[in-house]
Chains A and B, each alone.
Chain A
Amino acid sequence: MTPLTGYLMVAALLFSIGLAGALTRRNAILVLIGIELMLNAANLNLIAFWRYGPHPEALTGMMFAIFSIAVAAAEAAVGLGLVIQIHRHAHTTDLDQMNRMKG
C-alpha cells in the first residue's frame, strides 16, 4: 500500500462516518458536525494529492485546501446561526419534529 492510498482510505472512512452522522442523527447540530467531518475528509484528500502529486511547488492543492477551510468556517457560522434561530422559533433542534415549512 502506497502512502497516498493510506491517506485516501482514512479520508474515505472519515467521509463515510460524517455522512452516517449527518444522515442518522436527530439533533441539527450533530448533523452539522457530520458535514464538518465530510469537509475535513475532503481537505485531507486535497493535501494528500498535493504532497504526492507531480508538481507540489505549484501549491495548487494546498491553496485549494486553505480556501476550503475558509469556506467551511463561513458555512459553520451561518449554519449554527440558523440552528439557534430555529431553536428560538420552534423550541427544538430535533429534525424529526421539524416536518413543516410553514412557520
Chain B
Amino acid sequence: MSFAFYLISAISVAGGLAAVLLKNTVHCALALTVVFAGLALLFLQLDAQFAGFAQILVYIGAVAILVVFAILLTKGSETPKDGVFSKTWLAGLAVAAAVFAVFGWTVLQSGAVLPHQTATPQVTVAQIGTALMGRYVLPLEIVALLLTAALIGAVIIAMHEKPENNEEEVAK
C-alpha cells in the first residue's frame, strides 16, 4: 500500500462526503468532480490507463458539466429554507451505515481468499481495441445503440414543448 493510494483515497472520500453534505448544490457538483478525478487517479494506480482516461473524459468532461447545467436550469443552487435533508434522513443514514458495516465486515473477513497477483499487467491500447472489435463486439454495438437511444430520449424528454393552448389564444 503506497502513500499515493492513501492520499488519493482520502481526497476521494473527502470529496464524496462534501458532495453529499454541502448545502449549496453547485458546490456539491464541484465536489463530485473531485471524486471523479480521484477515482481516475486510482484507476491509473491500478495500471488501467485506458479506463482512467475514459473516466476523465466521460465523467469530468461530460457528466459533471451536465450536472452543473441541470442545477443552473432548475435554479437548484438556491438553498431551501427548510434544510437540504429529507424528513426521513435518519432512516437513510441508518440504512447506509448498515450497508457499509456489511461490506466492510465481508471485505475484511475474506482478505485471505482474495486474489493478489503482484505482476503488473502489460495491456496496450491496441489489445483493448482488438478485444473491443473481436470478443466484445456485440456489447460494443449494444452500447452504441443504447447511447443513441439515450441521446434521442434525453433530448425528447427535456425538449420544451409549446403549450397547445397557444393556438387557441391566437384564434381568440
Contact = CB atoms under 8 A, between A and B. Distances in A.
Interface of A: 1-10, 12-27, 29-30, 32-34, 36-37, 40, 43-44, 47-54, 56-57, 59, 62-63, 65-67, 69-78, 80-85, 87-88, 93-96
B42 A36 contact: no
Nearest to B92: A23
Interface residues of B, number: 84
Could you tell me the dominant secondary structure of chain B's interface residues? helix
A6 B25 CA distance: 30
A93 B146 CA distance: 27
A14 B35 contact: yes
Interface of B: 1, 5, 9, 12-13, 16-17, 19-20, 25, 28-29, 32, 35-36, 39, 42-43, 46-48, 50-51, 54-55, 58-59, 62-63, 66-67, 69-71, 73-76, 80, 83-89, 91-93, 95-97, 99-100, 103-104, 107-108, 111, 114-117, 121-123, 127-128, 131-132, 136, 139, 143, 146-147, 149-151, 153-155, 157-158, 160
Nearest to B63: A76
B99 A15 contact: yes
Contact of B131 (A33, A63, A87, A96): A63
B55 A69 contact: yes
A34 B37 CA distance: 16
Given A51-B47, A76-B66, A12 B104 contact: yes
Chain A to chain B: the 8 pairs with minimum beta-carbon distance, closest first: A23-B92, A56-B121, A74-B150, A16-B100, A21-B20, A20-B96, A12-B103, A81-B158
20 contacts: A5-B108, A9-B104, A9-B108, A10-B13, A17-B13, A17-B16, A17-B20, A21-B19, A23-B88, A23-B96, A24-B85, A29-B76, A36-B32, A52-B117, A56-B123, A59-B127, A59-B131, A73-B150, A81-B155, A82-B157
Contact of B9 (A2, A10, A49, A87): A10
Contacts of A53: 115, 117
B35 A93 contact: no
The binding surface of chain A is classed by DSSP as helix
A72 B150 CA distance: 11
A78 B42 CA distance: 28
A17 B73 contact: no
B48, B80, B95, B132, most chain A CB atoms within 10 A: B48
A16 B116 CA distance: 25
A14 B151 CA distance: 28
Contacts of A25: 20, 84-86
